[in-house]
Homo-oligomer: A and B are copies of this chain.
């Protein structure tokens, strides 16, 4: 069994043994291979040949070192950061803009964002929210109205001082977030309890003058959605904030195959201006945490600062209770860093811009027409089933180059069609997440209902497998700690530490300074039983998760 998971045939075609040597990445820590293999081969109980024969479709395919695309990325296991930047560049996800810290989102990266938008936009509407649009220029004075908000955001502002050739009387902030302008407008739209709740969302660009930037993860300008709601009661606002973090969590699990941990932020990590911040935290392939989405219960902080009031059923004036919640293009970075491996990107099928790539393979000139026309008809069959399919019939590149290229681009499923496949009326279907022979299904009939069913179930398998792997990886890298020493040990190993916590903000700051780790959240899922704070020895109500983060 173990042999099955050793560097496969596939690997011999790569120039160095380190390249692709850990194809179970993002699992940088040693993982028992037999254990993983068992789950991988469960789907195909074929006894293994000593020397697996080349699949028919690979005959004539040149995967020798000379065919390694110029697009090959630095292996993730060698240098995670270099790998990330390579993937972004070579998979053509994004590029640097001319202004420091800005990013151009290229079509392939933007299509992932569009898939995220499509899903979330529908969920927001289902849960009663309407889209709208607020101007991005905010009078400077607005930002100063809510004390902790200005403290949090003023170092990061981009400021317009000239308009139409003239110095402006009041400087304008390019929105870093919209709570202030939203409240300014809410005061005009809300008179009575009958005007509540207001539940809106906008898809927009925001600007934060970040010093250390990284494509998708932290850029000077980014795209996001920001939901804003106003309610008559504290309970309704709390319910809404929790509802939206749950929408994000389900999205992460079901669409992005990212097993985020949902919970509440510590006071120190709460959004500038919120009473309480809920978060989903994702573990990246280098085991750093990524805050992947947040939902804030704003209480009455902004409504008091802006006098956003309503007349209640008893005729009394009250301040509204508010929430805001956001997910941004940062999430695309989270997908890359959760699922990628040494070869490059690995996209969850439900968000993949291309779910299936078809690579036609021919050697002799007289094979060409048959292979290409068969490939075109397979493409049509899959399109008819609303599968996102692309056929790569360029003649400048070899099939081997194409295999590598589309694997690097993270396309979940590849279909290979060679002359023998044409003769047999069948195709070879390969999964991106399982390299080599194990990931190949040979002789899948081209009969539309058979082919469509097989491809759909393979896509679902890949989707489920990505979530399973990421969950396994996450759980192997969270350590339960009962002392500060154990926490330091876990963090120094690059892992997440989970332990009971009831210590002060000062002690939280001390952990950050000494270990680089912050409280990511108090998870909603809490262990049973009484708890003792690992820092102070006092009783603790909840465990917290500590980790280094992006």
Residues of A within 8 A of B (CB): 95, 97-99, 102-107, 109-111, 113-114, 130-139, 142, 154-165, 171-172, 174, 181, 184-185, 188-189, 194, 200, 204-205, 207, 209, 211, 220-221, 223, 396
Q: Which of A95, A135, A184, A205 lies at the interface centre, i.e. has the most chain B CB atoms within 10 A of its CB?
A: A135
Contact assessment for B111 and A131 in the assembled complex, using a CB-CB cutoff below 8 Å? yes
Kindly identify which residue among B131, B142, B205 contacts A114, using a CB–CB cutoff of 8 Å: B131
Kindly identify which residue among B105, B134, B164, B174 contacts A160, using a CB–CB cutoff of 8 Å: B174
- Majority SS at the chain A contact face: mixed
Say yes or no: A159-B161 contact (C-beta < 8 A), given A102-B135, A181-B98, A220-B137.
Answer: yes
Contact assessment for A99 and B139 in the assembled complex, using a CB-CB cutoff below 8 Å? yes
16 A-B residue contacts at CB 8 Å?
A97-B185, A98-B138, A98-B139, A98-B142, A99-B137, A102-B137, A107-B130, A135-B221, A156-B164, A157-B164, A158-B172, A159-B160, A159-B161, A159-B163, A194-B396, A205-B205
A160 to B200, CA, bound (A): 29
Contact assessment for A158 and B158 in the assembled complex, using a CB-CB cutoff below 8 Å? no
A184 to B97, CA, bound (A): 9
A211 to B165, CA, bound (A): 12
A181 to B221, CA, bound (A): 15
Q: Which residues of B contact A194 (CB under 8 A)?
A: 396
List 16 extra interface pairs beyond A99-B138, A103-B135, A110-B132, CB under 8 A: A95-B185, A97-B134, A97-B137, A98-B139, A99-B135, A105-B132, A107-B200, A110-B130, A113-B133, A137-B221, A157-B163, A158-B164, A159-B161, A161-B161, A164-B209, A205-B205
Closest chain-B Cβ to A332's Cβ sits at a distance in Å of 11
Kindly identify which residue among B174, B185, B207 contacts A104, using a CB–CB cutoff of 8 Å: B185
Q: Which residues of B contact A111 (CB under 8 A)?
A: 130-131
**Taking CB as reference atom, which chain B residue is nearest A131?**
B110
A205 to B103, CA, bound (A): 16
A207 to B175, CA, bound (A): 14
Contact assessment for A133 and B105 in the assembled complex, using a CB-CB cutoff below 8 Å? yes
Contact assessment for B165 and A158 in the assembled complex, using a CB-CB cutoff below 8 Å? no
A531 to B223, CA, bound (A): 53
A113 to B200, CA, bound (A): 16
**Taking CB as reference atom, which chain B residue is nearest A106?**
B132
A185 to B137, CA, bound (A): 26
Q: Which residues of B contact A132 (CB under 8 A)?
A: 104-107, 109-110
Contact assessment for A165 and B155 in the assembled complex, using a CB-CB cutoff below 8 Å? yes
**Taking CB as reference atom, which chain B residue is nearest A208?**
B164
Contact assessment for B163 and A104 in the assembled complex, using a CB-CB cutoff below 8 Å? no
Q: Which residues of B contact A221 (CB under 8 A)?
A: 135-137
Nearest 4 A/B pairs, CB to CB: A164-B209, A107-B130, A102-B135, A159-B162
**Taking CB as reference atom, which chain B residue is nearest A105?**
B133
Q: Which residues of B contact A162 (CB under 8 A)?
A: 157-159, 161, 171
Say yes or no: A184-B98 contact (C-beta < 8 A), given A105-B132, A161-B159, A165-B154.
Answer: yes
